[in-house]
Amino acid sequence: MITKRRVIVRAVQSWSGAIMLVSALAVTALAPADVMAQKFPNRPVTWIVPYPPGGAFDILPRGISPILAKQLGIPVVVQNIPGPEGYNQFFRSPPDGHTIGMVDLVGELAQKLVRKPVYDVAKFEYLGRISMGVNLFVGSPKSTFRKVEDLKGAKEPVRCGSFGALSTPTLECILLSERMGFPVTIVRFTGPAEVIVGIVRGDADIAALGTTLWLDHLAKGNVMPLLLWSEKRDSRVPGVISLKDIGLEELNVVASQRAVATSPGTPANLVQVLGKALGEAIESEQVQKFLAERKFETDREIGEPFRQTVANVRGLLEKYDSVIKKFVKSGK
């Protein structure tokens, strides 16, 4: 009887030991991610802006970064590194969540269609979108274009001011030309601020930038409003027609998706921490006031919903793949 009890006790001890061992192994397996999450972030986060100062992609992170820093409990340093080098820096940064960057989603995905850059925006870990900028096409006061319908009658190539090889404004010029049937050539400037100067003094005929960037110039009569790149009209520019008004609403997704991403391979739990902090920062009273004062759109999209938007943008660009490639090949 005693022997039988000893056998039972030993069996129970063996099972208990096995359960403890399995539990220990499970904890060990989870430990790196848990420890990383607990220690994250443990140093300042660098927010790279791959564009010159002055445009929406620069203004937004500078307005949001102080509040994001409070959410994360560490400094967030905004750094302008214009051009491919800026993208490449946060693409190749360690996948530890301490480097994030602004992404012109549409323009960069289009670049991927026509050439192979050293970085692949499809591989970024996307935190979300601050806002989807509604670009406004305007005409130079020194051009003959006073309404969008005037473009159809153009016999000479319309000079469209833009920046970057295939930025969102450049793509909008290409697609508008394709769908409305007018010739176009791109006049390239360093950045948005230079585009505005060029339009005002007549170096280009038309240009598309974030609506908020044109408001002061519209009020002064420096530019002529032509078309909102949106499926609906905008109270900021009363009376200006939208894509839907001319039957081109499907192009709405080719907009300034002001996205924030971190380097490929960053663990999902860190991406979630960053995304949550970004969303809360955007929703804060301070940032909402900042967005309202600057007249920015307030249509943030965080996490999985935005990752679906990324897929939708890729789909539409692939539909116009041949148009984009033909334009690039023409050298216009």
Check whether 66 has a pLDDT greater than 80.
yes
Query: Which residue in 293, 198, 287, 195 sits closest to 236, CA to CA?
Result: 293
Q: Which fold has domain 45-132+255-321?
A: D-Maltodextrin-Binding Protein; domain 2 (3.40.190)
Cα separations (Å) of 64 from 57, 78, 256, 260? 11, 10, 18, 12
Nearest to 62 by CA among 227, 310, 296: 296
pLDDT band at 38; cut points 50, 70, 90: low
Q: What is the pLDDT of residue 212?
A: 87
> What average pLDDT does the structure give for the chain?
87
Please choose, from the candidates 69, 71, 22, the residue with its C-alpha nearest in 3D space to the C-alpha of residue 46.
Answer: 69
Residue 157: what pLDDT? Answer: 96
| Res 37: pLDDT | 52
Res 139 pLDDT > 60: yes
Closest CA to 84 of 159, 11, 164: 164
Convert the pLDDT of each residue in 94-120 to its tens digit.
999 999 999 989 988 988 888 877 899
Average pLDDT, stretch 9-14?
Answer: 39
Which residue in the block uniquely carries the two structure tokens 């994360």? Answer: 72
In the chain, CATH 3.40.190.10 sits at 135-253
Q: Which residue has the tokens 């790196």?
A: 32
Give the up-direction half-sphere exposure of residue 169: CA atoms within 13 A in the CB hemisphere: 28
Round to whole Å and give the CA distance between 1 and 13.
18
Output the pLDDT for position 253. Answer: 86
Taking alpha carbons only, the member of 167, 181, 161, 171 closest to residue 223 is: 161
pLDDT above 70 for 191: yes
pLDDT reading at 210 higher than 50: yes
Confidence of residue 39 (pLDDT cuts 50, 70, 90): confident
- Give pLDDT, residue 13: 41
The rounded percent of the chain whose pLDDT value lies above 70 is: 88
Residue whose C-alpha is closest to residue 68's, from 76, 57, 60, 59: 76
Q: 47: closest CA among 55, 34, 36, 57?
A: 57
Q: What is the DSSP letter of 120?
A: -
- Residue 332 confidence (pLDDT): 65
Weakest mean pLDDT among 11-25, 154-168, 212-226, 274-288: 11-25
Looking at residue 288, its pLDDT comes to: 96
Pairing of strands 158-163, 184-189: parallel
Say what the pLDDT of residue 24 is.
38
The CATH H-level superfamily of 135-253 is Periplasmic binding protein-like II (3.40.190.10)
Q: Delimit the CATH 3.40.190.150 region(s) of the chain.
A: 45-132+255-321
Report the predicted TM-score, pTM, of the whole model to 2 decimal places.
0.72
Q: Three-state DSSP class for 163?
A: strand
**Range from 76-85, 112-121, 139-148 carrying the lowest mean pLDDT:** 112-121
- Going edge to edge, which strands form the sheet with 158-163? 184-189, 158-163, 206-210, 135-139, 224-228
